[in-house]
Amino acid sequence: MGNIDVTGYLERLGLGAEPPGPAALRRLHAAHVERVPYEPLEIQLGRPTPLDPAASAARILRGRGGYCYHLNGAFSALLRALGYQVTRHLGGVQGGQGDAPNVDRNHLALTVTGLPEDPSASWLVDVGLGDGIHEPLPLREGTYVQGPHTYRLRPSEVAPGGWRFEHDPSGSFAGFDFAPGPAEMADFAEKHGWLSTAPESGFVRVCVLQRRDATGVDTLRARTLNRHGAKEVIESPEDWWTAAADVFGITPAQFTTEERELLWRKVVAQHEAHTSGDPVVAV
Protein backbone atom coordinates (compact mmCIF):
# COMPACT_ATOMS: atom_id res chain seq x y z
CA MET A 1 0.00 0.00 0.00
CA GLY A 2 1.26 3.41 -0.92
CA ASN A 3 1.89 6.42 1.26
CA ILE A 4 -0.66 9.19 1.64
CA ASP A 5 -0.20 12.93 1.20
CA VAL A 6 -0.55 13.94 4.84
CA THR A 7 -0.15 17.66 4.20
CA GLY A 8 -2.70 17.63 1.41
CA TYR A 9 -5.12 15.54 3.47
CA LEU A 10 -4.91 17.97 6.39
CA GLU A 11 -5.46 20.88 4.00
CA ARG A 12 -8.57 19.10 2.69
CA LEU A 13 -9.81 19.00 6.30
CA GLY A 14 -8.86 22.62 6.95
CA LEU A 15 -6.47 21.65 9.73
CA GLY A 16 -2.80 21.78 10.57
CA ALA A 17 -0.64 19.05 12.06
CA GLU A 18 -0.63 18.67 15.84
CA PRO A 19 0.44 15.95 18.29
CA PRO A 20 -1.99 13.10 18.99
CA GLY A 21 -4.49 13.70 21.78
CA PRO A 22 -8.23 13.55 22.49
CA ALA A 23 -8.88 17.15 21.47
CA ALA A 24 -6.83 16.82 18.29
CA LEU A 25 -8.62 13.55 17.44
CA ARG A 26 -12.00 15.23 17.91
CA ARG A 27 -10.98 18.04 15.56
CA LEU A 28 -9.80 15.60 12.91
CA HIS A 29 -12.93 13.47 13.18
CA ALA A 30 -15.39 16.38 13.09
CA ALA A 31 -13.62 18.01 10.15
CA HIS A 32 -13.64 14.73 8.21
CA VAL A 33 -17.38 14.06 8.51
CA GLU A 34 -18.14 17.73 7.79
CA ARG A 35 -15.93 18.03 4.70
CA VAL A 36 -15.65 14.55 3.15
CA PRO A 37 -19.00 13.20 1.92
CA TYR A 38 -20.40 9.73 2.19
CA GLU A 39 -21.14 8.92 -1.45
CA PRO A 40 -21.45 5.91 -3.79
CA LEU A 41 -21.12 7.71 -7.13
CA GLU A 42 -18.40 5.40 -8.44
CA ILE A 43 -20.72 2.45 -7.80
CA GLN A 44 -23.59 4.22 -9.55
CA LEU A 45 -21.29 4.75 -12.55
CA GLY A 46 -20.30 1.08 -12.57
CA ARG A 47 -16.65 1.73 -11.77
CA PRO A 48 -14.87 -0.55 -9.28
CA THR A 49 -12.87 1.18 -6.55
CA PRO A 50 -9.75 -0.20 -4.85
CA LEU A 51 -9.61 -0.86 -1.12
CA ASP A 52 -6.10 0.57 -0.79
CA PRO A 53 -6.33 3.45 1.74
CA ALA A 54 -3.78 5.44 -0.28
CA ALA A 55 -6.06 5.28 -3.34
CA SER A 56 -9.04 6.30 -1.21
CA ALA A 57 -7.06 9.19 0.28
CA ALA A 58 -6.03 10.35 -3.19
CA ARG A 59 -9.70 10.40 -4.27
CA ILE A 60 -10.61 12.36 -1.13
CA LEU A 61 -7.91 14.90 -2.01
CA ARG A 62 -9.57 15.28 -5.41
CA GLY A 63 -12.75 16.43 -3.67
CA ARG A 64 -14.58 13.14 -3.51
CA GLY A 65 -15.64 10.75 -0.74
CA GLY A 66 -16.75 7.13 -0.60
CA TYR A 67 -18.27 4.71 1.86
CA CYS A 68 -16.92 3.00 4.95
CA TYR A 69 -14.03 1.05 3.41
CA HIS A 70 -12.78 4.17 1.66
CA LEU A 71 -13.49 6.75 4.35
CA ASN A 72 -12.41 4.78 7.41
CA GLY A 73 -9.56 3.18 5.46
CA ALA A 74 -8.13 6.55 4.42
CA PHE A 75 -8.78 8.15 7.80
CA SER A 76 -7.03 5.31 9.63
CA ALA A 77 -4.01 5.77 7.35
CA LEU A 78 -3.99 9.50 8.09
CA LEU A 79 -4.21 8.89 11.83
CA ARG A 80 -1.37 6.38 11.72
CA ALA A 81 0.78 8.82 9.77
CA LEU A 82 0.09 11.43 12.48
CA GLY A 83 1.22 9.05 15.23
CA TYR A 84 -2.07 7.58 16.47
CA GLN A 85 -2.45 3.94 17.45
CA VAL A 86 -5.31 2.78 15.22
CA THR A 87 -6.86 -0.68 14.86
CA ARG A 88 -9.13 -1.73 12.01
CA HIS A 89 -11.88 -4.18 12.91
CA LEU A 90 -14.34 -6.46 11.14
CA GLY A 91 -17.80 -4.96 11.50
CA GLY A 92 -21.38 -5.56 10.51
CA VAL A 93 -24.02 -2.86 10.03
CA GLN A 94 -27.70 -3.73 10.36
CA GLY A 95 -29.94 -1.59 8.17
CA GLY A 96 -33.26 -2.12 9.93
CA GLN A 97 -34.34 -2.40 13.56
CA GLY A 98 -35.43 -5.99 12.96
CA ASP A 99 -32.18 -7.16 11.39
CA ALA A 100 -30.18 -9.64 13.45
CA PRO A 101 -26.84 -8.34 14.79
CA ASN A 102 -23.84 -9.76 12.92
CA VAL A 103 -20.27 -9.14 11.89
CA ASP A 104 -20.58 -9.88 8.17
CA ARG A 105 -17.74 -7.55 7.10
CA ASN A 106 -20.02 -4.98 5.47
CA HIS A 107 -18.39 -2.38 7.71
CA LEU A 108 -14.82 -1.40 8.58
CA ALA A 109 -14.74 -0.20 12.18
CA LEU A 110 -11.90 1.71 13.85
CA THR A 111 -10.61 2.18 17.38
CA VAL A 112 -7.86 4.44 18.70
CA THR A 113 -5.84 3.69 21.85
CA GLY A 114 -2.80 5.00 23.68
CA LEU A 115 -3.53 8.73 23.65
CA PRO A 116 -1.06 10.58 25.88
CA GLU A 117 -3.60 12.02 28.33
CA ASP A 118 -5.09 8.57 29.08
CA PRO A 119 -3.10 5.71 27.51
CA SER A 120 -5.49 3.06 28.87
CA ALA A 121 -8.59 4.55 27.20
CA SER A 122 -9.99 3.37 23.87
CA TRP A 123 -12.03 5.42 21.43
CA LEU A 124 -14.54 4.46 18.75
CA VAL A 125 -13.69 6.39 15.60
CA ASP A 126 -15.95 6.26 12.55
CA VAL A 127 -16.12 8.70 9.62
CA GLY A 128 -17.68 6.15 7.25
CA LEU A 129 -21.34 5.91 8.25
CA GLY A 130 -22.97 8.91 6.58
CA ASP A 131 -25.21 9.94 9.45
CA GLY A 132 -23.05 8.38 12.16
CA ILE A 133 -21.07 10.01 14.93
CA HIS A 134 -19.74 13.56 14.66
CA GLU A 135 -16.90 13.07 17.17
CA PRO A 136 -15.17 9.97 18.61
CA LEU A 137 -16.90 8.12 21.44
CA PRO A 138 -15.10 6.71 24.49
CA LEU A 139 -15.27 2.95 24.14
CA ARG A 140 -17.18 2.21 27.31
CA GLU A 141 -20.75 1.20 27.89
CA GLY A 142 -23.14 4.11 28.05
CA THR A 143 -25.42 6.54 26.24
CA TYR A 144 -24.02 9.45 24.27
CA VAL A 145 -25.73 12.48 22.75
CA GLN A 146 -24.36 14.34 19.72
CA GLY A 147 -26.58 16.92 18.07
CA PRO A 148 -30.03 15.43 17.39
CA HIS A 149 -28.88 11.83 17.90
CA THR A 150 -28.59 9.66 20.99
CA TYR A 151 -26.30 6.63 20.71
CA ARG A 152 -25.64 3.64 22.91
CA LEU A 153 -22.47 1.56 23.26
CA ARG A 154 -22.42 -1.84 24.93
CA PRO A 155 -20.56 -5.13 24.66
CA SER A 156 -21.47 -7.10 21.55
CA GLU A 157 -23.56 -10.25 21.91
CA VAL A 158 -22.39 -11.68 18.57
CA ALA A 159 -18.68 -10.77 18.71
CA PRO A 160 -17.30 -11.82 22.13
CA GLY A 161 -14.93 -9.14 23.36
CA GLY A 162 -16.23 -6.73 20.74
CA TRP A 163 -18.71 -3.90 20.90
CA ARG A 164 -22.13 -2.87 19.65
CA PHE A 165 -23.06 0.65 18.55
CA GLU A 166 -26.79 1.38 18.55
CA HIS A 167 -27.88 4.31 16.41
CA ASP A 168 -30.58 6.83 17.25
CA PRO A 169 -34.01 5.48 16.17
CA SER A 170 -34.19 8.28 13.60
CA GLY A 171 -30.92 7.21 11.99
CA SER A 172 -30.51 5.56 8.59
CA PHE A 173 -29.39 2.24 10.11
CA ALA A 174 -30.05 0.34 13.34
CA GLY A 175 -26.50 -0.19 14.55
CA PHE A 176 -23.34 -2.18 14.05
CA ASP A 177 -21.20 -4.73 15.86
CA PHE A 178 -17.46 -5.16 15.53
CA ALA A 179 -15.00 -7.86 16.52
CA PRO A 180 -12.15 -7.13 18.95
CA GLY A 181 -9.18 -8.29 16.89
CA PRO A 182 -7.36 -6.41 14.14
CA ALA A 183 -8.42 -6.73 10.51
CA GLU A 184 -6.63 -6.15 7.22
CA MET A 185 -8.10 -4.33 4.25
CA ALA A 186 -7.98 -7.58 2.27
CA ASP A 187 -10.49 -9.06 4.74
CA PHE A 188 -13.16 -6.80 3.21
CA ALA A 189 -12.42 -7.48 -0.47
CA GLU A 190 -15.17 -10.04 -1.10
CA LYS A 191 -17.85 -7.99 0.63
CA HIS A 192 -16.67 -4.82 -1.09
CA GLY A 193 -17.08 -6.53 -4.44
CA TRP A 194 -20.62 -7.62 -3.58
CA LEU A 195 -21.65 -4.22 -2.24
CA SER A 196 -20.24 -2.53 -5.34
CA THR A 197 -21.92 -4.72 -7.96
CA ALA A 198 -24.75 -6.92 -6.65
CA PRO A 199 -28.25 -5.87 -7.80
CA GLU A 200 -29.44 -6.41 -4.21
CA SER A 201 -26.84 -4.03 -2.74
CA GLY A 202 -28.24 -0.81 -1.35
CA PHE A 203 -25.31 1.10 -2.85
CA VAL A 204 -26.31 -0.18 -6.30
CA ARG A 205 -30.05 0.26 -5.85
CA VAL A 206 -30.10 3.88 -4.69
CA CYS A 207 -27.76 6.87 -4.81
CA VAL A 208 -27.36 8.38 -1.34
CA LEU A 209 -25.12 11.31 -0.43
CA GLN A 210 -24.72 12.24 3.23
CA ARG A 211 -22.80 14.81 5.24
CA ARG A 212 -22.68 15.14 9.03
CA ASP A 213 -22.15 18.33 11.01
CA ALA A 214 -22.44 19.31 14.67
CA THR A 215 -26.20 19.90 14.52
CA GLY A 216 -27.39 17.20 12.15
CA VAL A 217 -27.20 15.41 8.82
CA ASP A 218 -27.88 16.36 5.20
CA THR A 219 -29.04 13.51 2.95
CA LEU A 220 -29.67 13.43 -0.79
CA ARG A 221 -31.46 10.14 -1.53
CA ALA A 222 -32.05 9.85 -5.29
CA ARG A 223 -33.89 13.17 -5.89
CA THR A 224 -34.93 13.96 -2.31
CA LEU A 225 -32.82 16.39 -0.29
CA ASN A 226 -33.57 16.00 3.41
CA ARG A 227 -32.34 17.52 6.64
CA HIS A 228 -34.24 15.95 9.54
CA GLY A 229 -37.62 16.03 7.89
CA ALA A 230 -37.20 19.24 5.90
CA LYS A 231 -37.50 17.61 2.47
CA GLU A 232 -37.23 18.95 -1.06
CA VAL A 233 -37.68 16.94 -4.25
CA ILE A 234 -35.16 18.16 -6.81
CA GLU A 235 -36.71 18.71 -10.22
CA SER A 236 -33.79 19.21 -12.60
CA PRO A 237 -30.27 17.88 -13.16
CA GLU A 238 -28.90 21.40 -12.73
CA ASP A 239 -30.50 21.70 -9.30
CA TRP A 240 -29.30 18.20 -8.37
CA TRP A 241 -25.69 19.09 -9.14
CA THR A 242 -26.07 22.43 -7.36
CA ALA A 243 -27.12 20.53 -4.22
CA ALA A 244 -24.30 18.02 -4.68
CA ALA A 245 -21.80 20.88 -4.84
CA ASP A 246 -23.23 23.30 -2.27
CA VAL A 247 -24.26 20.77 0.40
CA PHE A 248 -21.87 17.85 -0.14
CA GLY A 249 -18.89 19.45 -1.88
CA ILE A 250 -19.12 17.23 -4.98
CA THR A 251 -18.75 19.50 -8.00
CA PRO A 252 -20.08 18.56 -11.45
CA ALA A 253 -16.72 19.48 -13.00
CA GLN A 254 -15.37 16.20 -11.59
CA PHE A 255 -17.57 14.25 -14.02
CA THR A 256 -17.99 14.15 -17.78
CA THR A 257 -21.21 15.26 -19.42
CA GLU A 258 -22.08 11.62 -20.10
CA GLU A 259 -21.48 10.68 -16.46
CA ARG A 260 -23.63 13.53 -15.18
CA GLU A 261 -26.44 12.54 -17.53
CA LEU A 262 -26.19 8.89 -16.48
CA LEU A 263 -26.33 9.78 -12.79
CA TRP A 264 -29.40 11.96 -13.35
CA ARG A 265 -31.20 9.17 -15.25
CA LYS A 266 -30.42 6.79 -12.41
CA VAL A 267 -31.67 9.03 -9.61
CA VAL A 268 -34.85 9.78 -11.58
CA ALA A 269 -35.51 6.05 -12.03
CA GLN A 270 -34.76 5.38 -8.36
CA HIS A 271 -37.10 8.17 -7.26
CA GLU A 272 -39.88 6.87 -9.50
CA ALA A 273 -39.39 3.31 -8.22
CA HIS A 274 -39.63 4.55 -4.66
CA THR A 275 -42.74 6.67 -5.20
CA SER A 276 -44.43 3.79 -7.02
CA GLY A 277 -43.99 1.59 -3.95
CA ASP A 278 -40.97 -0.45 -4.98
CA PRO A 279 -38.89 -0.82 -1.80
CA VAL A 280 -35.61 0.96 -2.51
CA VAL A 281 -33.42 0.57 0.56
CA ALA A 282 -29.97 2.06 1.14
CA VAL A 283 -27.45 0.15 3.20
Tell whether 47 is covered by a domain: no
Indicate if the alpha-carbon torsion angle 272, 278, 279, 283 is positive or negative. negative
pLDDT at residue 282, as a whole number: 35
Is residue 267 within 8 A of residue 280, CB to CB? The reply is: no
Tell whether 250 is covered by a domain: yes
Is residue 221 within 8 A of residue 229, CB to CB? The reply is: no
Residue 49 scores a pLDDT above 90:
yes
What is the DSSP pairing of strand 175-178 with strand 85-94?
Answer: antiparallel
Cα 241 to Cα 55: distance, rounded to the nearest angstrom: 25
Q: Region 175-203: what's the mean pLDDT?
A: 97
Considering the entire predicted model, what is its pTM?
A: 0.95
Domain that holds residue 233: 201-275
Compute CA distances 64 → 101, 108, 247, 263, whole Å. Answer: 31, 19, 13, 15
Give me the number of domains the chain comprises. 1
pLDDT by residue (tens digit) across 84-120?
999 999 999 998 777 889 999 999 999 999 999 889 9
Q: What is the DSSP letter of 177?
A: E
DSSP3 helix / strand / coil % (the chain, rounded to 5): 35, 25, 40
Cα 265 to Cα 67: distance, rounded to the nearest angstrom: 22
- Provide the pLDDT confidence category of residue 278 given band limits of 50, 70 and 90: low
- Provide the pLDDT confidence category of residue 2 given band limits of 50, 70 and 90: low
Is residue 42 within 8 A of residue 49, CB to CB? The reply is: yes
Tell whether 18 is covered by a domain: no
Cα 269 to Cα 253: distance, rounded to the nearest angstrom: 23
Is residue 87 within 8 A of residue 80, CB to CB? The reply is: no
Bridge partners (DSSP) of residue 227 are 230
Tell whether 99 is covered by a domain: no
Compute CA distances 53 → 44, 74, 208, 212, whole Å. Answer: 21, 4, 22, 21
pLDDT by residue (tens digit) across 157-185?
999 999 999 999 999 999 999 999 999 99
pLDDT at residue 98, as a whole number: 75
pLDDT by residue (tens digit) across 3-36?
999 999 999 999 999 999 999 999 999 999 999 9
Cα 143 to Cα 164: distance, rounded to the nearest angstrom: 12
Average pLDDT of the chain, as a whole number? 94
Q: What are phi and psi of 260, to 5 degrees?
A: -65, -40
Share of the chain above pLDDT 90, in %: 90
Is residue 271 within 8 A of residue 222, CB to CB? The reply is: yes
Tell whether 222 is covered by a domain: yes
220: CATH: 3.30.2140.10
